[in-house]
Amino acid sequence: MSSALMQNYGTRELKFERGEGSYLFTKDGERYLDFGMGIAVNSLGHCNPKLIDALTDQAKRLWHTSNLYNIESGEQLASKLVASTFADRVFFCNSGTEAIECGFKAIRRYFYSKGQTQKNRIVSMSGAFHGRSLAAIASAANPVHTEGFLVGDSGFDQAEFGNFESLLSVVTEKTAGIIIEPVQGEGGIRVAELEYLKKIRDLCDSHNILLMLDEVQCGIARTGSLYAYQQLGINPDILATAKGLGGGFPIGACLATEEVAAALVAGTHGSTFGGNPLATAVSNAVLDTLNDADFLNNVSELGNYLKAELTILIERYPRLLTEVRGLGLMLGLYCQTDAGRLIARLQEQKLLVVKAGGNSIRLLPALNVSKEEIDSAVKIISKVLADIENNQN
């Protein structure tokens, strides 16, 4: 069958008609347990009734006005984000990439507005993923993503993730910002260590550098705190968030301190759709549900439970698996066997997971997943591993 779509995603056979909680259903009524959740997007599962209510209530009243006018649900959402984080100000957009772009622009404009125009370079980390815009691919510098796209020096430098000495070696008086994912996602689930992050924060403070966190994937309760930085002992100056923020409705946000946000004066940045009534109505409902101590504790507990179950599988199948990494319900299972093949086998058994770097698979279930659903997923993984070990493939 020919498709009118650009072929940038390659071929995709599987398609779904309906979703409910942790499950997706095909037209033929086949049921898949979804432990990918649209790559960490459907934070409260598929078609969550609270989110349907929020969306349909809003849809009956007002869809879009543009940022020429004040948007009440956007004001509310921004206030909630400010009340729950380091931030004083919020900019709304429609994706993670746009949240990153806003952060990068804020960094440059901050020093520009102080007359320090030479301070304009941004350091990113190896294994990072910040999106697919030109600035985002230039910053992450992954050759698979940059090939054929970049012209000249885009103003980014790279340090090795987790290696503070490497960071020191690239920071100069021109460094304006450092961007890091507290828990890397696409590059393979890698958690930045507390001491390392503290050193980065100190370096930023002593060298007049802005610290920007990319929590597009690890934010919004995924790791058991609203944002991962909140359990890693540092405060950023800027934070990019998206994915789970809308629970499946597209929205992103760039959070910043007052001092940084002040650089983005009227006219310096904007978005037609950013913070529109539909997106912010849904996102308010997402935040009201998951920004709750009991909900967050439950994410941590379920995450620890899943991690412990996966650790048992690693002990049982040391020739196929090596380790499990991550925080909360953002877990990476590192494989000796081919991760792509394992994912295909899990899909045959109706379990959906996502590939990540370093020959790993990512488990990103809904944050309100049940213990029974975790048990079902572990059972499927265990069966597939047993089949592979016994060469029944």
List interacting residues with ligand PLP (CB under 6 A).
39, 95-97, 100, 129-131, 181, 185-186, 214, 216-217, 242
CB 131, min distance to ligand PLP, A: 3
CB 69, min distance to ligand PLP, A: 26
Distance separating alpha carbons of residues 308 and 12, to the nearest angstrom: 33
In the complex with ligand PLP, the residue whose CB is nearer, 218 or 378, is 218
CB 191, min distance to ligand PLP, A: 13
In the complex with ligand PLP, the residue whose CB is nearer, 343 or 385, is 343
In the complex with ligand PLP, the residue whose CB is nearer, 320 or 343, is 343
In the complex with ligand PLP, the residue whose CB is nearer, 191 or 321, is 191
CB 177, min distance to ligand PLP, A: 15
In the complex with ligand PLP, the residue whose CB is nearer, 39 or 170, is 39
CB 9, min distance to ligand PLP, A: 12
Q: How many other β-carbons are positioned within 10 Å of the β-carbon of residue 329?
A: 29
CB 104, min distance to ligand PLP, A: 12
CB 41, min distance to ligand PLP, A: 8
In the complex with ligand PLP, the residue whose CB is nearer, 38 or 317, is 38
In the complex with ligand PLP, the residue whose CB is nearer, 19 or 96, is 96
Per-residue tokens: 223: 């790791």
**Positive or negative, the Cα torsion across 217, 145, 187, 6?**
positive
CB 243, min distance to ligand PLP, A: 6
In the complex with ligand PLP, the residue whose CB is nearer, 36 or 277, is 36
Three-class SS of the chain: CCCCCCCCCCCCCCCCCEEEECEEECCCCCEEEECCHHHHCCCCCECCHHHHHHHHHHHHHCCCCCCCCCCHHHHHHHHHHHHHCCCCEEEEECCHHHHHHHHHHHHHHHHHHCCCCCCCEEEEECCCCCCCCHHHHHHHCCHHHHCCCCCCCCCEEEECCCCHHHHHHHCCCCEEEEEECCEECCCCCEECCHHHHHHHHHHHHHCCCEEEEECCCCCCCCCCCCCHHHHCCCCCCEEEECHHHHCCCCCEEEEECHHHHCCCCCCCCCCCCCCCHHHHHHHHHHHHHHCCHHHHHHHHHHHHHHHHHHHHHHHHCCCCEEEEEEECCEEEEEECCCHHHHHHHHHHCCEECEEECCCEEEECCCCCCCHHHHHHHHHHHHHHHHHHHCCCC
CB 192, min distance to ligand PLP, A: 12
In the complex with ligand PLP, the residue whose CB is nearer, 185 or 357, is 185
